[in-house]
Copies of this chain bind each other. A is one copy, B any other.
Amino acid sequence: MPYVVVFYDVSDNKRRDLLAKTLQSLGLVRVQRSVFMGRGGYTKAKEAIRAASRIVDARTDSVVALVVPEDYARRMLVYGGIMSDPKQKQAVRVV
């Protein structure tokens, strides 16, 4: 099963927090402050974008959803840490 990666630039704090909670409720985990990732294909990606469209301001904000095949997601290169590892669904620190 592929992975969905959602990254965003949202200026308003309340909207940004609501988007983060919404992405979490869709089963995605936070990889970085403005990056969420989790299992799913285009249905999940569209769900995330549709949910985002009800929260953020299209004139000032940006939300991108990208579907990535599992083997590509597994070869993700990390320097420093990530907040949670979508492949294990728990916090991880890789240095």
Contact = CB atoms under 8 A, between A and B. Distances in A.
Interface of A: 5, 7-9, 31-35, 42, 45-46, 49, 52-53, 56-69, 72-73, 75-83, 95
A34 B34 contact: yes
Copies of chain A in the complex: 2
Contacts of A56: 79-80
A32 B8 CA distance: 7
A45 to B, nearest CB: 5
A27 to B, nearest CB: 17
30 contacts: A7-B32, A9-B33, A31-B62, A31-B64, A34-B34, A42-B75, A45-B77, A49-B78, A49-B79, A56-B80, A57-B80, A58-B80, A58-B81, A62-B79, A62-B80, A62-B81, A62-B83, A64-B77, A64-B79, A64-B82, A65-B76, A65-B77, A66-B68, A66-B77, A67-B75, A68-B68, A68-B72, A69-B69, A69-B72, A72-B72
